[in-house]
């Protein structure tokens, strides 16, 4: 019984979050690690439910997203200084790469040869990034939700809470933001909040009276959201037993942390599918492009899917701004904080916060996992 209990504890501790699964389960033959794993029936059902696709359309989209992610680095290098950003186009099922009008014919051919569609834009990614960096240095009022570079719009999009746009401090901030470069203003229904929660049942982890969801396993522990606990805080598992201790944590500014694991708990390269899809094996952390589908699992709302909406977005929480976040259309609720986002078998990040819920819909942000690994010198536990 002790062995069974520890096995469940170990799995719960390191999987609790969730994952999404673009390429699914373990391949029939483990000899060919380069071959994509086939999409599971559970994943295809989730894609059909959340995207309104048929099974065949879901398979086609997953294959196209994998191809887009594979060619993105080559296409970016081919664009060089003319690079204006890239995104996955769900309609054409292709990666679109923006290049500035001064890009040579040879540059455009090189991008096309890489397998991407070319779109001409006015501003380079470097210009847009510089404008966003200048906005990052401004003091944002609570009526401003977030801002990010939108490559498809070729501008920096500033999101304002819809019933706060007329506020004087919001208007003043927008005037200052527009002075930094190309800026587009959009509205969102609510202000961003983190998704920590009080102690309730489920497969969570606990620190103090806060419940969060475990992120991805790393050698020696797991990664999660920084707002869930500070360095030195003790962590308990789903059964109340001691898991380990927060070894590092950063929030605001960032929203990441890592927890050491011991006391009979251990790490496994898996995230829970919660019965919607089979539990996911994690094989790496290659970044999915904007426009790609992605899924999230957490200890409150379990498994939900959506789309990558933006990268390098600054989120203006009440506690302070958090930088370099990725925004998605996936919903989440309190207790899901720290939970994992996964694309196929590739880890993407840990749940930070958002607005809305899984009944009426919403948007969420995650802290990219590679930044956490680099910050703390951690190694992702992979299958």
pLDDT in tens, 50-76: 899 999 999 999 999 999 999 999 999
Predicted TM-score of the model (pTM) = 0.80
CA 174 distance to own-chain centroid: 27
Cβ-Cβ contacts under 8 Å for 315 (sequence gap 6 or more): 145, 146, 192, 321, 322, 325, 352, 353, 365
C-alpha to C-alpha distance for 281 and 291, rounded to whole angstroms: 23
Could you tell me if 160 and 171 are in contact, meaning their C-beta atoms sit under 8 angstroms apart?
Answer: no
Q: What amino acid positions are annotated as catalytic residues?
A: 227, 255, 337
pLDDT in tens, 284-299: 999 999 999 999 999 9
pLDDT in tens, 310-352: 999 999 999 999 999 999 999 999 999 999 999 989 999 999 9
112-121 in b/e form (b: 16+ CB < 10 A) is eebbbebbeb
The residues with which 186 forms a beta bridge, in sequence order, are: 159
CA 280 distance to own-chain centroid: 16
Orientation angle between helical segments 55-79 and 41-51, nearest 10 degrees: 80
Cis peptide before 252 (omega within 30 of 0): yes
């Amino acid at each position: 019984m002790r062995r069974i209990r520890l096995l469940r504890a170990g799995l719960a501790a390191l999987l609790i979050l969730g994952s999404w699964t673009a390429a699914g389960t373990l391949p029939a033959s483990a000899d060919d690690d380069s071959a994509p794993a086939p999409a599971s029936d559970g994943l295809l059902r989730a894609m059909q439910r959340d995207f309104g696709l048929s099974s065949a359309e879901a398979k086609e989209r997953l294959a196209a997203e994998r191809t887009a992610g594979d060619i993105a680095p080559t296409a970016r290098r081919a664009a060089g200084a003319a690079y204006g950003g890239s995104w996955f186009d769900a309609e054409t099922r292709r990666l679109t790469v923006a290049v500035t009008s001064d890009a040579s014919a040879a540059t455009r051919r090189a991008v096309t040869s890489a397998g991407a569609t070319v779109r001409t834009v006015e501003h380079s990614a470097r210009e847009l990034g510089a404008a966003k960096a200048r906005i990052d240095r401004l003091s944002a009022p609570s009526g401003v939700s977030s801002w990010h570079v939108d490559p498809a719009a070729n501008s920096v999009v500033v999101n304002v809470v819809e019933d706060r746009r007329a506020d004087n401090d919001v208007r003043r901030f927008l005037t200052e933001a527009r002075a930094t470069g190309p800026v587009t203003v959009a509205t969102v229904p609510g202000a961003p909040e983190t998704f920590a929660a009080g102690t309730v049942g489920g497969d969570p982890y606990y620190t103090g009276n806060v419940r969060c969801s475990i992120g991805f396993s790393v050698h020696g522990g797991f990664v999660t959201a920084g707002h869930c606990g500070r360095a030195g805080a003790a962590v308990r598992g789903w059964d109340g037993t001691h898991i380990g201790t927060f070894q590092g944590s950063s929030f605001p500014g960032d929203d990441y942390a890592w927890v050491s694991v011991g006391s009979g708990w251990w790490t496994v390269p898996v995230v829970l599918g919660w019965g919607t899809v089979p539990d996911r094996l994690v094989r790496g952390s290659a970044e999915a492009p904007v426009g790609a589908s992605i899924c999230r699992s957490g200890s409150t709302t379990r498994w939900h899917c959506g789309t990558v909406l933006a990268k390098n977005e600054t989120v203006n929480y009440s506690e302070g701004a958090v930088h370099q976040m990725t925004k998605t259309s996936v919903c989440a609720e309190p207790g899901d904080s720290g939970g994992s986002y996964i694309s196929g078998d590739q880890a993407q990040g840990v749940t930070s916060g958002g607005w809305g819920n899984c009944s009426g819909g919403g948007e969420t942000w995650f802290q990219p996992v590679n930044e956490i690994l680099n910050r703390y010198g951690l190694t992702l536990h992979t299958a």
